[in-house]
Each structure stands twice: as C-alpha cells, then as structure tokens.
Structure 1
Amino acid sequence: MYRNILVRTEDSVGRITLNRPERHNAFDDQTIAELSDALAAMEASAEVRVILIASAGQHFCAGADLKWMLRAAARGAEENLVDARKFATMLGCLARMPKPTVARVQGVAYGGGVGLVSACDIAVATADARFALTEVRLGLIPAVIGPHVVAAIGPRQARRYMLTAQPFSAAEAHRLGLVHELAVDIPALDGAVNGIVSALLANGPQAQAECKSLIAAVAGRPLDDPLIEDTARRIARIRATDEAREGMAAFLARRRPRWPAGD
C-alpha cells in the first residue's frame, strides 16, 4: 500500500517504519501523506493499543528531503502553504494521538526527525545517536516542528539549538528530556523499547487516553480554582467507568485486568 513506509500490526502494537534508508529516511510529501494515512488508520483501529515509530537502516530521520524542499521552493506561496499544512497536520495527529506513541531512534535525527521524536509520548535512543535542529543553516526555520520541540525541551534550550544548529549527543538529548532512555546498541534499544511497550500494554487504554488529555489540559496552567475543579471532575468521571472498576477489582484480586472494549 505504501512506498516510503512499512506498516505492521502485531500483538496490539502498530509499527510504522520509515523506509527510505537510501535517503536517510528524510521526509518528502509522499512520506508525509503516507504517515498521515497510517496514523489515522491506527487511531481508528481497535486492534492497535500502542504505536511505535521506527526506521529502517542506519539513521532514524535526516529531516526534510532537500530535493523535495527545492522543488517546493520553486512553487508559489500558496502551494508551499498547502505542503506545510500537511506536515503540521501529520505531526499534530501524532502529538494528539489518544493512544501511547513510542519513538525508536538510532543514528541521526535532524530537523523534522527531531520533530517526529518530540511529537511522540516516549522516546528511546541508542547512546551514539545524534540530534540537530539544522534549519537555520539552510536559511530556514523549524516552524512546523517548533511547538513540539519547545514542549519537549523548553524554550531556553530550544533557543540554543535552533539558533546555533549545533548537533547534540544522545546524552544531551536525554538530559534535555527529548529522549527518556538510552541503550548501548541496537539489541539493547529493542529490549528497552519492548519493555516500555509491555508496560504500556498492561494498563487501561481508556485511562491512558484520559491521561494524555489531562496532561494537555494542565500543562502550563496556574493552579487555580477552575483547574482544581476540572481535575476533580475528571477523576470522578473516570472512577465510574467499566475500565476503572475492572482495574481496581483485578488489583484487589491479584489478577491481570481484563480491559473492557470501552464505555
């Protein structure tokens, strides 16, 4: 079905693999369209509980394909805006996905690759991975990925790395909060990813979606009376769901929960 990505669903995990290793898995319009389609299908699929973003070959993603960018630059402003909106919409779909998302990172993640990592809930990388926000070197700006990167590493660190375009190590990405866990090599990377996926699959899917909604609602807001009321209403509503009743009953009975399909 797809030319630039591979898609597989197995054991409740939807795996999307960037598959342009000869181009270091750089984005182009075709890749963006395919990612958008695959993400929408996985969001709608009852079979998929967790979405894993990975890549084939040596590198995770080298950012935007410059050949595509040059073609786009030769077109008019309106066509460029349409292209940019498609990329922004795809990243927004990933960031707002109600299901947990995990990035598996090796090699380089530059430009849009950093945006892809930032838009995922959890990221794991090899210890020798490299990151960079290289747009200004090309006379460009990381506009579409900007909200996701700033949310991941904060405005102060974004200023440094967006303005200098300096590459940074996996250890620095971990310190900044862009990456949650480092692995010494590819087998260890897969082991770490599998461990995180297993932990995600053990939990209530409705509760996970509500957690993501909660985080989006409280991030950056002052602890005022409306926020307190909002959080109280959220937990009161969730307590009454079949999923919550099953989760608490399973814990008290010391058994694995049998998560209902939904309320």
Structure 2
Amino acid sequence: MKEGKKVSSFILYSEVRGVARVTLNHPQKRNVLGEDLLRLFLKKLKEIKKNKAIHVLVLAGEGKCFCAGADLSAMQALSEASLEENKKDAFLLAQVLYELCYFPKPVLALVHGFAFGGALGLLSCCDMVIAHPKTEFGFSEVRWGLAPAVISPYVISAIGERQARRYFLTAERFSAETAKDLGLVNLVTEKIEALSDDYIKMFLENSPAAMAVTKKIISSVVTKEINQTLIKKTVNLNAKMRTSPDGRAGLKAFSQKTKTYLVLKS
C-alpha cells in the first residue's frame, strides 16, 4: 500500500481498505523527531485509534531514511533553556511512544536507510518491523553527551538489559541482520513493501477486537510496567542530560559537525 493524501508538511497519511499509513515526511532533515512532527504524529495516532474503520497501522519514512532520531539542532537551542522547558519537550516524545506502544491495532513499521536514537524507540513500540538489508541502526546519544532515557523502557523491553548495556554505551552502528538478532527487527528483505502486504493481509483476516485484547494481554504480562511514574522519571533524566555540561557540549559538537562532545570538553 502506498501513501496518498498529504496531511501536513511533516506527515503523509492515507487510508486504504482498513489500513492507515503514516509516513514521517521531513526528508530534508532526515525525518528527525522535531516538535511539529511529533505533535502531528500524536494527533494522528489518537484519531486512528478512535477510527473503527481502521484495523492496521503502517509506519514509514519518506526519502532516503526512516528517521534520524531526535532533532539535535532544536535540542541544542533548548539546552540553554530551563529544565522545565526541556521536560516539556521530552514529554512530547514520551507521549508518542506511550500511545504507539499501547495502540490497540497492529502496527507495522517499514524501515530503510537508517534509524538512530529516538527512531529505535518508535520501532520498539511497533508490533512488527520489516527492514531493508542495507539499513543502519544505532543509539548515538552518549556520543553527544546525552542519554537514551525516554526510549529506554521500550527499547530494553525489546532487546533486553544485556544488549542495551552494549549498544547504549558504545553508540556503535549495527546492521539490519544484527537488529533482527537483537529483536528490534522481525524480518529483513529488499522487498519491504511486497512483504508488508502479506502481513497486512494476515492482520486484516483477524478479529480487530481479538487483536486489541491480545495486545492488552501481552502488555499485562510485561514485568516492568511502563506507567506515568516511569515516564516522568525518564523525561526528567532526559531534560537533565540536555542541560548538563556534557549535553550542551555534545549538542554544540553536533551542530559544528565535530566527531564527539569530547572535542569541546577538552
């Protein structure tokens, strides 16, 4: 299914025979998760959730990649703002992740190019992820003096504590096959659209009510419940790291295209 109707400059949206498709549409900035995009995405998720005619949600990215993660340029500007302003900004991503994680309909993500940082939070909240074999993945936050705080509950649920320790702390990039081994990706293929159609058909053959209940069951047996207390804690950590000396140095290094925050710390 291809995307159609344009909703805004940051989101493409279409509905075809019970399938909704949301495409992150800011290719000039590699579909970064900026405030405007996140607000529109959150609004659209809430609308689709209430739409009884929609039974499946497909998530994709426009242009050369799925999503480069957080908008670090905007984050740099906010790093000089108050802690409360940074909490407010971080909470927007937290809301999107929570809404996506507990979405009552099947969510299928199609990934190509690369997916970094916050983008992996999105993928961890989806029910299935299909990736192109040349896709690159990575958690780059610590390289820029930040921490993957807001996405951590979802990512650790997907890949486990042991692997999170490695990939969160090294900031190394990894392949689609490695992402599959970790549990971030379900299937790897060059024909992501064709394969997605097969799974969409499977979802559409199932009872929407039964799938919604099944998703609730899965969530209910997760050992670490993602509740408002946990969300508040991760948002606070995110905001503190943004406004810390390392965070400010890292975001400045990113804007100046230097290799790491250490260049500006030394």
TM-score range for the pair, normalised by the shorter chain length: 0.7 to 0.9
> TM-score, normalised to structure 1's length?
0.81
User: Which residue is equivalent to 1:84?
Assistant: 90
The 5-angstrom pairing of residues 124-135 of structure 1 reads 124-135=130-141
177, 192, 195: which one aligns with 2:195: 192
Out of 61, 72, 83, the residue aligned to residue 55 of structure 1 is 61
- Quick check: 1:211 aligned with 2:218? no
Structure 1 residue 74: deviation in Å? 2.1
Aligned to 2:110: 104
SS in 2 for 1:87: helix
- Gaps (5+ residues) in structure 2? 1-6, 225-266
Residues 200-257 of structure 1 deviation map (CA, whole Å, 9 limit, x = unaligned): 1110111100110111112339xxxxxxxxxxxxxxxxxxxxxxxxxxxxxxxxxxxx
**Counterpart residue type for residue 217 of structure 2:** L
Q: Could you list the runs of 5+ residues in structure 1 that have no partner in the other structure?
A: 222-263
Q: Deviations over 1:21-44 (max 9, x none)?
A: 111111111111011001001001
State the distance in 2 between where 1:88 and 1:29 align: 12
Distance of 1:19 and 1:218 partners within structure 2:
35
Helix, strand or coil: the match of 2:213? helix
Tell me the equivalent position of 2:153: 147
- Structure 1 or 2, whichever has the larger Rg, is 1
Q: Distance in 1 between matches of 2:34 and 2:222?
A: 32
| 1:172 pairs with 2:178 | yes
Secondary structure in structure 1 of the residue aligned to 2:32: coil
What is the deviation of 1:3?
Answer: 2.3
What's the counterpart of residue 72 of structure 2?
Answer: 66
**d(CA) in 1 for partners of 2:87, 2:223:** 29
The AA in structure 2 aligned to 1:45 is N
Q: RMSD value over aligned CA atoms? A: 1.0
> What is the alpha-carbon distance in structure 1 between the residues aligned to residue 143 and residue 94 of structure 2?
21
SS at match of 1:54: strand
TM-score, with normalisation over the residues of structure 2? 0.80
Aligned to 1:27: 33
Partner of 1:39: 45
Letter in 2 for 1:205: P
Cα deviation, residue 2, structure 1: 2.1
Task: Kindly provide the CA deviation profile for residues 120-158 of structure 1, in whole angstroms up to 9, marking residues without a partner as x.
Answer: 111000011110000000000011111110011011101
**Aligned-residue identity in percent:** 39
Distance across 2 between alignment mates of 1:13 and 1:74: 42
Name the SS of the counterpart of 2:197 in structure 1.
Answer: helix
**Residue-pair matches, total:** 218
Q: For 1:192 and 1:95, locate their aligned partners in 2 and report how far apart those are by CA, in whole Å.
A: 23
Letter in 1 for 2:154: H
Q: Which runs of 4+ in 1 moved over 3 A?
A: none
State how far apart, in whole Å, the 1-side matches of 2:180 and 2:107 are: 18
Displacement of 1:20 after TM fit?
Answer: 0.8
In the alignment, the residues of structure 1 paired with residue 223 and residue 98 of structure 2 have an alpha-carbon distance, to the nearest angstrom, of: 19
Aligned to 1:16: 22
Q: Secondary structure at the match of 2:178?
A: helix
